[in-house]
Amino acid sequence: MNATGGTPHGPGDDTPDRAQAVTGASGVSAEPVATGAASADGERDDPLTRPVHPPKKPSVVLGVGGGIAAYKVCDLLRRLTESGHQVRVVPTAAALEFVGAATWAALSGQPVTADPFGYVHEVPHVRIGKGADLVVVAPATANLIAKAAHGLADDLLTNTLLTARCPILFAAAMHTEMWEHPATQANVAILRSRGITVLDPAVGRLTGADTGRGRLPEPAEIFAISQLMLADSTARAAGESVADLTGKHVLVSAGGTREHLDPVRYLGNSSSGKQGYALARIAAARGAKVTLVAANSELPDPAGVQVVPVTSTRDLYDEITGRAADADAIVMAAAPADFRPADVAEHKIKKTEDGAVPAVQLVQNPDILATVAHDRQRAGQVIVGFAAETGDASHSVLDLGRAKLARKGCDLLVVNDVSGGKVFGSDLNEAVVLDRDGNALPVPSGSKDALAGVIWNLVASRWH
């Protein structure tokens, strides 16, 4: 994830901070205002009793392009306002054909117009962009991307894009043919070369009967990335950055594999894929190129992530080993089946009248984690495994995790206690991360995004 330069500031930053010394006309600092001085009514100005104002939440400009997906942006706007951000919606005239100004004004609590000549005395075509801490454009249509790439400024939104000195996020949405057109791809490349983050459109149902790449990324995905971009902007101001995976290619697996017994039955597990998807989403937001190999997941594609669907453990093995040489890190968050039926029936297995139960002979599947850990094809490659353990009468969950870490040969192992059905399908996760040096880092219960962040911190520390 890249961001445009400049220190974020708000519309009122023309006024010196009250806590600073008063500056004289010569530019030399005069005496500071004395604390505890008497006010006009004779009472002492006690700094301990002054009202404490909470820190200002970042200001977000939400640009809305003229696409059918504009209605989904109402959800994104709600997420931004509920998180405490002050949001100014700047639609194009075409966007107002899909969702009216009254809706945007009601949801944002701010005036809404597409016309740069509205509120002229406030100079909105300059001040809105200059006062933003983040600009999000969704849906970013082919037309809007082209205008931004070539510096056109013929409405309030395109003027705002030229005056903004903060991170900018485009969430692309258009028909597949428009997205794949060389002109659009060239325009996207121009924007990215300038440090603007452009999320590829998702795959799915489009307008009419069409299906393909072109859907607006889910509002939850856009919101999550916007929050990381704001955090990155704050970190940059402090000489740091959360976009620490820029230039890295990471390979992540997610979900649970299925091994078919017959055309309608299979051996499987309860993995939802949520942790793997969180890992992919957070890595992309931190600047990485991400390939997600997803086994039987119904979750929406994470924004900006290449998703490769698979069914069986053998499918997963082929995709992971075939892509391993190009990956700086491999995170095996999927739950592959250890065994598969030796033979798959061509037709549905029927019950018999005598009640006989068919015998199923199993064979062992290839060990994907051990294979990529022992056959590393890239210097500095970091391999992360997951272990879902329940413990037994003789061994604790951590005992089993340490044994697996030694057996597999990976750099980090994320150990989950899944006894009693914990973790699977939940939006929360807790784990202990083991490393090859014998260290154990407990991660308390929290969101799967939070655990993903901890894992990528540990991976990044091995590169740095």
Out of 206, 237, 268, a domain closes at 237
Instruction: State the CATH number of the domain containing residue 173.
Output: 3.40.50.1950
Model confidence at 40, pLDDT cuts 50, 70, 90, reads very low
Whether residue 69 is found in the same domain as residue 191: yes
Whether residue 221 is found in the same domain as residue 270: no
416 catalytic, yes or no?
no
Can you say how many angstroms the Cα of residue 27 is from the centroid of all Cα atoms in its chain?
45
d(CA 133, CA 413): 38
318 or 353: whose pLDDT is higher? 318
Whether residue 221 is found in the same domain as residue 298: no
List binding-site positions for CTP.
338, 348, 366-369, 386, 404, 408
Position 55: which residue type?
A: P
Task: Read off the pLDDT of residues 330-349 as tens digits, 9 standing for 90 and up.
Answer: 999 999 999 999 999 888 98
Q: What is the mean pLDDT of residues 386-397?
A: 84
What element of type H or E holds 266? strand 266-267
Give the least confident one: 19-33, 299-313, 413-427. 19-33
Count of domains forming the chain: 2
Task: Read off the pLDDT of residues 250-280 as tens digits, 9 standing for 90 and up.
Answer: 999 999 999 999 999 999 988 899 999 999 9
Model confidence at 47, pLDDT cuts 50, 70, 90, reads very low
Cross-strand bridge partners of residue 441: 433
Task: Read off the pLDDT of residues 165-216 as tens digits, 9 standing for 90 and up.
Answer: 998 999 999 999 999 999 999 999 999 888 888 888 888 888 878 888 889 9
Whether residue 148 is found in the same domain as residue 256: no
6 or 286: whose pLDDT is higher? 286
Give the least confident one: 353-367, 389-403, 416-430. 416-430
- SS3 breakdown of the chain: % helix, strand, coil, rounded to 5? 35, 25, 45
Q: Of 269, 365, 416, 457, which residue is the catalytic one?
A: 269
Residue 16 has pLDDT above 60, yes or no: no
Whether residue 132 is found in the same domain as residue 22: no
Whether residue 116 is found in the same domain as residue 211: yes
Could you list the residue range(s) of the whole structural domain that residue 60 is in?
A: 51-237
442 or 3: whose pLDDT is higher? 442
List binding-site positions.
338, 348, 366-369, 386, 404, 408
Out of 219, 237, 255, a domain closes at 237
Contact 151, 163 (CB under 8 A): no
Whether residue 29 is found in the same domain as residue 178: no
- Buried b / exposed e over 295-326, threshold 16 CB at 10 Å, is bbbebbbbbbbbbbebebbbbbbebbbebbee
Across the chain, mean pLDDT equals 84
Position 231 scores a pLDDT of 77
The SS3 of residue 364 is strand
Position 13 scores a pLDDT of 39
Whether residue 252 is found in the same domain as residue 369: yes
Out of 175, 205, 237, a domain closes at 237
Whether residue 42 is found in the same domain as residue 64: no
Residue 26 has pLDDT above 70, yes or no: no
